Structure 1
Amino acid sequence: MPLSTPDLADLARAIREWGAQLGFADVRITDPDLSLHEAGLQAWLDAGSHGEMDYMAAHGMKRARPAELVPGTLRVISARMDYLPQGTAADWREREAARLRDPHAAVVSVYARGRDYHKVLRARLQQLADRIREHAGEFGYRVFTDSAPVMELPLAEKSGMGWRGKHTLLLNREAGSTFFIGEILVDIPLPVDEKTSGHCGQCSACIDVCPTQAILGPGRLDARRCISYLTIELKSAIPEEMRPLLGNRIYGCDDCQTVCPWNKFAQRAVIPDFDERNELGSASLLALFAWDEEEFNRRMEGSPIRRIGHERWLRNIAVALGNAAESAHGDAAIVAALEARRAHPSPLVREHVEWALARHRADGGTYGRTI
């Protein structure tokens, strides 16, 4: 029997309470209409800004039409989970910036230092769906966490969870942008939440700080230039002109987040899943470069990093070791580590190792500084 309007309002309130019990910092509800975003999505795809991420275009406009992806969808339940490790210091942004200035430091995005968020959020969203079923009976739904052609951020923005910053990430006045988002598409006509307004004002810090100028303007991102894309999504060789700009970032990039004033309000995770593993917040490039494939797979078990594989892991670190030539030109330990990988069976690894060695051998270490 269909639920009455009062029953639906009570169910919506209960869903938020259950979400909080499961570790979600916020749960909101919206309808699935994203028609206003279709033109922008098509223009972004037409410009090739998605690079090698063919899956972004594979489903056409279905990405902006959740009701086509999951027939019968009437509402989208968006859930936010904060990911800063529980013991993160108050000056974490300053500490992250300092590591970027250390040529021997291996910089991994904060979100990737713990458990794979796909697994964590998907499991807890499923638990939330189970509680809805226990309370309201059988219903149609599907759970997603960055795992299907769904425009998660526009849906979350429409639900009032925050607003899209100029770097395209979602911002929240109480939590900045250091959080994951997942959703449940449901066939229950729950009451919807109101969209909130934006609060970036005249600030352009994220645009100005981007090492590769991937943020072309407010809300305009060319993924092909983004360090997160280059170190995670790109399967082939990193373009030579981009390599010097990566610095010592070997998996993702947090620059647009660490510089954002709203992230002074970034919240700590309420679950231990995102606590740092394998000392990824303090590891050196040489220590991580020394891992063989077996050690990489063992240490990265349950980590989002494992999906790039050992080959791309070495590719990324080789670039960072090459960039260390800017301030540690000809460093004997770095050169020796690179020399040890020159005969690696992967042509991809060998190419980036040779590039890195060339930087350390170049007079003055100025090879490839600019594009």
Structure 2
Amino acid sequence: MPTGPKVSQQSKAKRATIREHALSLGFQAVGFCRAALPQSARERLGTFIEAGFYGDMGWLADRTEQRSHPQSLWPDARSVVVVGLSYAPETDPLEGLESKSAGNISVYARNRDYHDTLKGRLKHLAQQIVKILGCDVKVFVDTAPVMEKPLAQHAGIGWQGKHTNLVSRSHGSWLFLGEIYTTAEFDPDDAESDHCGSCSSCLSVCPTQAFPSPYRLDSRRCISYLTIEHRGPIPLEFRRPIGNRIYGCDDCLAVCPWNKFARPAADPAFLARQDLVQPPLGELALLDDRRFREKFSASPIKRIGRDRFVRNVLIAVGNSEDASLIPIAETLRSDPDPVVSEAATWAKNCLSGQG
């Protein structure tokens, strides 16, 4: 059996072939790491869980062992291939916050669901890895207890910034991530180091002060969490700061200085649908369940359902200062969903000067 330098050269050649296949599939970042995480990543997760920062997302707390130890999820895993796909926007996503009578949707959700797009390509790459190495693989795209961002940092793709999201020197804060766990062993890439320096732009821009300290996020205060994961009424203290953000929030991502190196995504799957760029609040508020499903049939927005989405729209209606939306809010006060009805009452009171 060959050993030493010859083995290393063979390993480099196989890595280069896999990287080439990944780039040909449209991935912009590729890295390799061991199927293990540093103690610091596990400690950060433990602190997050102990503080209760996960809110309603019980699935984050349920499988911490598998999440923090890749080989607990799959004992045969030896390496992880991590890929990144850029979805950088063409324009500043914060510009839409000025149009109060229109909704602002997070950049990643303005077209097709990235889970489907990314997973399809990732499966193609996994097939190539099996063909080249004859190994076993498992594919993950944000649908299993996998710590994607620490693995990406471990594989040299970027680092977890002070806003807890991944930052890349080439792609800024705009990367979708996917992972292939494999039984093959690769020489790992060097882990990426932190390049945030003294910058705190992402922390100070947060409308709801969701960062108790750098590198720590209290999801319960995060607008993305409140508009996507949270199921009940949105707490009153956050309604005004939400503004017209009806699905997600890009503020901490958008102000990252490293974004200046990101080139706008050219992939048609990630180009914004025009009807989802500053959509009129009045039209969205009146969507019934059927029309909601039709409009968002291939969108990640469909996952939260009509009631939660209209709740979000009504918060934006209440912040719009547009009196012409009062009749819509009045109509929705009798909505059968109590969360929608309550949000409609709040919106009407705000527009009538009573809120």
Where on the TM-score scale, by shorter chain, does this alignment land: which range? over 0.9
Q: Which moved more, 1:273-282 or 1:150-159?
A: 273-282
* Contact persistence 1:321–1:334 (CA under 8 A): yes
Tell me if the contact between 1:35 and 1:65 (Cα under 8 Å) persists in the aligned partners.
no
CA distance in 1, matches of 2:248, 2:193: 29
What CA distance in whole angstroms lies between the structure 1 residues aligned with 2:169 and 2:271?
Answer: 24
Aligned residue in 1 for 2:352: 361
Choose which of 262, 269, 286 in structure 1 pairs with 2:265. Answer: 269
Other-structure match for 1:153: 149
Flag structure 1 segments of 5+ consecutive residues without an equivalent: none
1:59 corresponds in structure 2 to 63
Instruction: State the partner residue of 1:135.
Output: 132
Amino acid of the structure 2 residue aligned with 1:11:
K
Residue of structure 1 in register with 2:339 after alignment:
348
Residues 62-85 of structure 1: CA deviation (Å, up to 9, x unaligned): 111111101211111000001135
> Does the 8 Å CA contact 1:113/1:280 hold for their aligned counterparts?
yes
Q: Give the letter for the 1:354 counterpart.
A: T
Structure 2 residue matching 1:210: 3-state secondary structure: coil
Residue of structure 2 equivalent to 1:104? 101
| Percent pairwise identity | 42
SS for the counterpart of 2:82 is strand
Shift of 1:35: 4.2
Asked whether the equivalents of residues 77 and 184 of structure 1 are also in contact (C-alpha less than 8 Å), the reply is yes
Equivalent pair of 2:138/2:180 in contact (CA under 8 Å): yes
| Counterpart mapping for 1:108-187 below 5 A | 108-137=105-134, 139-187=135-183
Residue in structure 1 matched with residue 25 of structure 2 by the alignment: 22
Taking the aligned partners of 1:150 and 1:163, their CA distance within structure 2 comes to 16
Return the offset for 1:216: 1.6
Q: Which moved more, 1:12-21 or 1:354-363?
A: 354-363
In the superposition, the TM-score normalised over structure 2's length comes to 0.95
Partners of 1:265 and 1:257 in 2: CA distance: 14
SS in 2 for 1:267: coil
8 Å CA contact retained: 1:110, 1:281: no
Cα distance in 2, alignment partners of residues 212 and 77 from structure 1: 35
Query: How far 1:60 sits from its partner (Å)?
Result: 2.5
- The letter for the 1-side match of 2:102 is A
State whether structure 2 residue 285 is matched by structure 1 residue 282. no
Deviation at 1:8, TM superposition (A): 2.2
Distance 1:2 1:109, change over 3 A: farther
Supply the distance in 2 between the matched residues of 1:247 and 1:109 (Cα, whole angstroms): 13
Which amino acid counterpart does residue 336 of structure 2 have in structure 1?
P
Aligned-partner residue type, residue 143 of structure 2: S
- TM-score, normalised relative to structure 1: 0.91
For the 8 Å contact 1:210–1:255, the answer to whether it is kept is yes
- Counterpart of 1:240, as a letter, is L
- Decide whether the 8 Å contact of 2:104 with 2:246 is kept in 1: yes
Post-superposition Cα deviations, 1:90-123, rounded to whole Å, max 9, x if no partner, equal: xx12xx3332122112000011001101111111
Cα deviations by residue, 1:310-342 (Å, 9 ceiling, x for unpaired)? 0101000001111123xx4xx1x2101111212
1:334 equivalenced with 2:325 (yes/no)? yes
**2:49 equivalent to 1:45:** yes
Note the C-alpha offset of 1:50.
0.2
Q: CA–CA distance in 2 between the matches of 1:63 and 1:255? A: 27
The residue matched to 2:75 in structure 1 has which SS? coil
1:251 corresponds to:
247
- Contact kept in structure 2, 1:162 and 1:170, CA below 8 Å: yes
Q: For 2:332 and 2:37, how far apart are their aligned partners in 1?
A: 48
Residue 73 in structure 1 maps to residue 64 in structure 2? no
3-state SS in 1 of match to 2:13: helix
Q: Hey, what's the Cα distance between the residues in 1 that align with 2:319 and 2:278?
A: 18
- Cα shift at 1:211: 0.2
1:292-303 maps to which residues of 2 (within 5 A)?
292-303=288-299
Q: Confirm whether residue 12 of structure 1 aligns to residue 8 of structure 2.
A: no
In the alignment, structure 2 segments of 5+ residues that lack a partner are none
Structure 2 CA distance for aligned equivalents of residues 148 and 2 of structure 1: 37
Query: How far apart in 1 are the matches of 2:341 and 2:234?
Result: 13
1:330-356 per-position Cα deviation (integer Å, ceiling 9, x unaligned): x1x210111121211111110111111
Q: Indicate the RMSD between aligned Cα atoms, in angstroms.
A: 1.6
Three-state SS of the structure 2 residue aligned to 1:185 is strand
Count, aligned residues: 351
Secondary structure (helix, strand or coil) at the match of 2:35 reads: coil
Q: Which residue identity is paired with 1:25?
A: Q
The Cα shift of 1:6 comes to 3.0
1:240 maps to 2:236: yes
CA contact (8 A) 2:88 2:171 kept: no
